[in-house]
Structure 1
Amino acid sequence: MTITPLDEFLQVSRVAYFSMEIALESAIPTYSGGLGVLAGDTMRSAADLDLPLVGVTLVSRAGYFTQEITDAGRQVEHESAWDPSRHALPLPAKVALEIEGRQVWLTAWLYVIRSQVGGKVPVLLLDADLPENSPEDRRLTHHLYGGDSTYRLKQEMLLGPGGMRLLRALGFSVQRYHLNEGHAALLCLDLLRRSNGTGARPAAAIAAAAAYNVGAVRSQCVFTTHTPVEAGHDKFSYELVSRVLGPNTDIDLLRELGGAQHLNLTQIALNLSEYVNGVAKSHAELSRRMFPGYQVHAIGNGVHPYTWAADSIRRLYDSQFPHWCNEPETLMRIDQVDGEALWSAHLEAKHALLAHVRQSRGVTLRPDVMTICFARRMTGYKRPDLLFTDLGRLREMARRHPLQLVIAGKAHPHDADGKRLIEALHRYLGELGEAVRGVFLPGYDMDLARLLVSGADVWLNTPLPPMEASGTSGMKAALNGVPSLSVLDGWWMEGCIEGVTGWGIGQATAGEDPRSHAWELYDKLESVVLPLFYGSREGWLQMMKGAIGRNAVLFNTHRTMRRYAAEAYLRTRL
């Protein structure tokens, strides 16, 4: 009997975790930012905890993009193609879907996430680049978030129904389908058709959802929504849906489940998932207001402990808390750790960041100067320019207490405002000159993110409320003992204990004027943060320990996955 690489993963029934992007490693550009990194951390924690998951995502052969920054601060995108054969194994199965009236064939590659404690989790990378397909269809799994709405809908067909069919063809037994955002929601329609017996439309073309076994489908599906604004949810015209999905598509059923005017994949996921989750308490409350009548739970996001701790921090934790990787809650005993040992570990991580800055950009920053880092997707609501509202005040502040800045992030290729923000940041840094030394680092990826979240002295986050559903970069910083100075939105509304884990900006109340955030940011820096950093090593070390002992112990994907397992996956009655 032939043993295949999949055999060890087919022995138990699994939760199939569908995500348009999963950050597997920096060398594999199958992610654009927070959603993909969260998905990767989720799978890594599942491997650590030996949870029976299987990931499903697109192979994205052309990747997201490699970022170049010109001397003028303009972002230039280059294709970040990669070869899946160098990282994954081809799998012996193909399935076909009807898209625009023709057969589109789909196969998959197997990537295995291996835990440092021995666990394994399989991830299927769906690939349509097959000789059976037309050149147009072969490109459907090339670009992550590339192309127009037609390309996007076709990709979501491949991810959802295509991924589900490949799981069946490969022999997986699936106990739950977990939709990480609404991109894979069309698989719910395939489940509905299967629940109806033959997979055909109901007799006499009855479109009402009651004609299907909706309850059976709902009991199989878990949905996590990440988007706090209505405009951020995928919507498609029914003319496009009819053309792409084909003439046998039950449009009346889709209108009932996905919206009368446009097909809203979030609406389908809400209607056909028994367990719906927001990614922070505030986001769950907002989602309940956006989608009244649905129960939205609040299992908050987290980060993978081992992945995001700097090498020096890992060694410190290993020496004090031998099981911290799988039991991050043991870090609540951080007060027992010698403060100077923690400071030494932090300085090693900071030196690594400053060395990268010097080698990559030719800019020399000082290890004794407080370093503020800001890194995330460059787009308007993230407000990366908030810190630069008053350059004169920044200069005056830096005369009394020196500070330096390290910034990174990509703008989506179609986000003109995000690109203009990157140019503006370069202009501001140039105007500040030697008064406040700073640098923008191109090529933001997992490796650079790890350097930043561990090498910063303070982590800055300035979203426009309530646009930050969760945010996870500050969680990564906390794991390394780096306190946050952040607007009270998303996870920070739960994580901020003023003067203990970091500092909050804003009031987290309805109707507050966000124009005041810049002045409050300056006030906190000038009167609290900088004086503490330079005036009291002991006080600063207590802040570092507060970030670890109050935030890192809670905001990790081990806690997230244990809650999903107990509250969403294993419940016999959802």
Structure 2
Amino acid sequence: MDDPSAALPRIAYFSMEIALEDDVPTYSGGLGVLAGDMMRSAADLGVRMVGVTLASRAGYFRQEIVDGHQVEHPASWEPAQRARRLACKVVVTIGTREVWVGGWEYEVSTSCRQTASVPVILLDTDLPENREEDRALTHFLYGQDASYRLRQEIVLGVGGVRMLHALGIPVHKYHLNEGHSALLALELLRERGAAAASGRALELAVEAVRVQCVFTTHTPVEAGHDQYEHQLVEEQLGGLVVATLLRQLGGGARFNLTRLALALCGWVNGVADRHAETSRALFPGYDVHAVTNGVHALTWTSLPMQLVFDHHIPKWCHEPELLVRVLSVPDAEVVAAHAQSRQRLLHTAARYPGGAALQPQRMTLGFARRMTDYKRPGLLFSDLERLRALARRWPLQVLVAGKAHPHDEPGKRHIAKLLEWARQLEGEVPVVFLPDYGVSLARQLVAGVDVWLNTPLPPLEASGTSGMKAALNGVPSLSVLDGWWLEGWEEGVTGWAIGADGDQDAGRHAASLYDKLETAVLPAWHAADGRWAHIMKSAIARNGSYFNSHRMLRRYAAEAYWN
């Protein structure tokens, strides 16, 4: 690394996935996109960080819709085309074998600040020194079975720490983005000679590691955390630490990576106020702070809207809090910028089945996220007759996107059902499914729809960030009160709430969703009195100015990193 400040300590940010570019498939969804935004804000703000993740040569997957069903295709990439091969290699023990780990360096920079960049290390086991099965360990993001996932986590956590040491990168603190990288804390214990420690010696070693480690948890339910049978963990970890220590730190019945991280990290946070409350209840006895997620403003603001901000709010990309000033920008300029993004999105959607029926005089509702049960993608279609009646009075159209994990059969059924509903509504309510949802498509969707819909089952939405991205583009949210929306919601100002806080009933949520569309959202959009322009600007000023990754990173820096 040629950075003249390379000798200064860095924050080492470990994440199983980091979204680096639109077409570099080292991410599957929100966790990786958040990590990428974190790296971009670090580059903008000059925060000394280094990212550590896996090369994921085979990516997550590319989605195709065939006969109404999701079909997965490989999404391979070649690191040599985007990153620089690192000269050094390290070795980790997995089971009874030594596995060599190489790496690539990718430099993250943004046009907001040309002089700074943040290195991201992409760990790679596809080396001639390794057996065939070990060469594939860093190929598939969240692929195969539990044993494969655990071995990947050994490469990430243990191999990542060793790689940073081999590169001579001094680390001030390690930031674990979710529990996937928790094994790095065991490696730090081992380095301190505590692999078989007990009593006071163990207490001192644990305390020293806790000072070094920061942990962000993203999952609000126990079942969502990575857990393994102790026998598998003891077999695969190859004696990194003694078995009694694994059971003591990782939980009794099963080895839980979140509990390991909680035990070995001195600063822990949830990703929204409500999520921190939920985490404290889930893991009593731990001090869980709340740092609400944010998104990288420059990355997620459309070019037409960027030009408006550049003209009226200089330095907004470096200081997104200045976006509060958008309220003084002429309505017509904000409306025109959104219209350009809207036109581009409708042009893209026209290439897919049903897209030719989309019309600019219809309000466009957007719903895009991972397709899984708790996201409740079918809530909008709970009552097709009422949806038809709404569209007859207030012209409405819907754009939907999202992938189901290859092993998530219920998620795949959600996609098939959405496509069936689209066929049933054809000619009355245009519904278009946009396949292969990723960063590029997401940027078009959050900028081009008119309203962003979010319908998770509370409290399972730890934070959510797609609505934050929409807000930067003047797109208000229509959302269940969960995650970040509990903090960003101002009824009729930044968007609208579906249901009451704490309510989990799907029937009441569906009724509330239709009521809000009928009595508030659709009438405001179709009105010609300027109400909608004020809502758009309020979403930018009140939500876009706050729910950004610059604010998030500044809080981490002040409270968790350099305190």
Contact 2:352/2:432 (8 A) holds in 1:
no
2:501 aligned partner, one-letter code = A
The correspondence for 1:104, drawn from 66, 87, 99, is 99
Deviation at 1:360, TM superposition (A): 4.5
Counterpart in the other structure of 1:259:
251
Please tell me whether residue 185 in structure 1 is matched to residue 185 in structure 2.
no
Change (3 A) 1:362 1:85: farther
Rounded to whole Å, the distance in 1 between the matches of 2:478 and 2:222 is 28
Q: Conserved in 2, the CA contact under 8 Å of 1:33 and 1:377?
A: yes
47 and 523 in structure 1: CA distance in 2 versus 1, 3 angstrom threshold: same
Aligned counterparts, 1:213-224, within 5 A: 213-224=205-216
Partner of 1:73: 68
1:320 aligns with 2:312: yes
Instruction: State how 1:95-174 maps to structure 2 within 5 Å.
Output: 95-116=90-111, 117-118=113-114, 119-174=116-171
Matches within 5 A, 1:300-339: 300-339=292-331
Amino acid at match of 2:492: G
Q: SS state of the match for residue 350, structure 2? A: helix
Q: 2:345 aligns with which of 353, 363, 385?
A: 353
Q: Indicate whether 1:21 and 2:14 are aligned.
A: no
CA contact (8 A) 1:377 1:410 kept: yes
1:194 aligns with 2:191: yes
1:213 Cα deviation after fit: 1.3
For residue 83 of structure 2, the aligned residue among 77, 81, 88 is 88
Residue 354 (structure 1) shift: 0.4
Take 1:248 and 1:110, find their aligned partners in 2: how far apart are those partners? Answer: 27
- AA in 1 matched with 2:440: D
Are positions 1:63 and 2:56 aligned together? no
Structure 1 residues 554 and 242, CA gap change in structure 2 (3 angstroms): same
Cα deviations by residue, 1:500-520 (Å, 9 ceiling, x for unpaired): 0000012112x6533210000
1:226 to 218, 226, 238: 218
1:432 alignment partner in structure 2:
425
Counterparts of 1:208 and 1:130, CA distance in 2:
41
Tell me how far apart the structure 1 counterparts of residues 260 and 117 of structure 2 sit (CA, whole Å): 32
Partner of 1:377: 370
Question: What CA distance in whole angstroms lies between the structure 1 residues aligned with 2:421 and 2:240?
Answer: 56
Which residue of structure 2 lines up, in the alignment, with residue 525 of structure 1?
517
Deviations 1:240-281 (A, max 9, x none): 011111256411111111101111110011011111010000
- Residue 550 of structure 1 aligns with which residue? 542
Whole-angstrom CA distance in 1 between matches of 2:275 and 2:247 = 26
Aligned mates of 1:42, 1:60 — CA distance in 2: 19
Distance 1:537 1:146, change over 3 A: farther
- Specify which of 446, 462, 466 is matched with residue 459 of structure 2: 466
Contact 1:242-1:249 at 8 Å conserved across structures? no
Q: CA contact under 8 A between 1:207 and 1:252: conserved in structure 2?
A: no
Is 1:559–2:556 an aligned residue pair? no
Aligned residue for 2:491, secondary structure, equals: coil
Distance 2:68 2:298 in 1: 34
Distance across 1 between alignment mates of 2:18 and 2:264: 23
Name the TM-score, length of structure 2 as normaliser. 0.98
Q: How does 1:358-437 map to 2 (within 5 A)?
A: 358-361=350-353, 363-364=355-356, 365-437=358-430
CA deviation digits over 1:10-48, x for unaligned, max 9? 232100000000000111000000000000001100000
Aligned pair partner of 1:30 in 9, 26, 34:
26
Residue 496 of structure 2 corresponds to residue 499 of structure 1: no
Shifted more, 6-15 versus 145-154: the winner is 6-15
1:434 maps to a residue whose letter is: G
Quote the offset at 1:64 in angstroms.
0.1
The 5 A counterparts of 1:290-305 are 290-305=282-297
**Distance of 1:545 and 1:346 partners within structure 2:** 11
Q: Which amino acid aligns with 1:97?
A: V
Query: 2:311, 2:364 → 1: CA distance?
Result: 27
SS across alignment from 1:467: coil
Match in the other structure for 2:480: 487
Encode CA deviations 1:344-379: one digit per residue, 9 max, x unaligned: 000000001001011344722111210000000000
Q: CA 1:208–1:285 in 2, change beyond 3 Å: closer, same or farther? A: same
Give, in angstroms, the shift of residue 330 of structure 1: 0.8
Cα separation, 2, equivalents of 1:250 and 1:37: 36
Distance 1:101 1:7 in 2: 38
In structure 2, the CA distance between the partners of 1:80 and 1:209, relative to structure 1 (3 Å rule), is farther
Is structure 2 residue 281 aligned with structure 1 residue 289?
yes
Please list the CA deviations of residues 308-343 of structure 1 after superposition, one character each: whole Å capped at 9, or x if unmatched: 011101111111111000111111011110001110
Match for 2:169: what amino acid?
F
Deviates most, 134-143 or 359-368: 359-368
The answer as to whether partners of 1:126 and 1:159 remain within 8 angstroms in 2 is yes
CA deviation vs aligned residue, 1:154-173 (integer Å, no higher than 9, x gap): 00000001001000000100
Aligned equivalents of 1:58 and 1:412: distance in 2?
A: 19
- Which residue identity is paired with 1:158? V
Q: What amino acid sits opposite 1:163 in the alignment?
A: G
Check the 8 A contact 1:208/1:256 in 2, yes or no.
no
**Residue identity (%):** 57
Q: Over residues 139-160 of structure 1, what are the superposed CA-to-partner deviations in whole Å (9 max), with x where a residue is unaligned?
A: 0000000010100000000000
Aligned length: 560
Partner secondary structure for residue 141 of structure 1: coil
| 5+ residue gaps, structure 1 | none
Contact 1:506 1:514 in 2 (8 A): no
- Note the C-alpha offset of 1:201: 2.5
Q: Gaps (5+ residues) in structure 2?
A: none
* Distance (whole Å) between structure 2 residues aligned to residue 457 and residue 211 of structure 1: 55
Q: Distance in 2 between matches of 1:368 and 1:211?
A: 66
Q: How far has the Cα of 1:195 moved from its partner?
A: 1.9
- Structure 1 residues 7 and 335, CA gap change in structure 2 (3 angstroms): closer
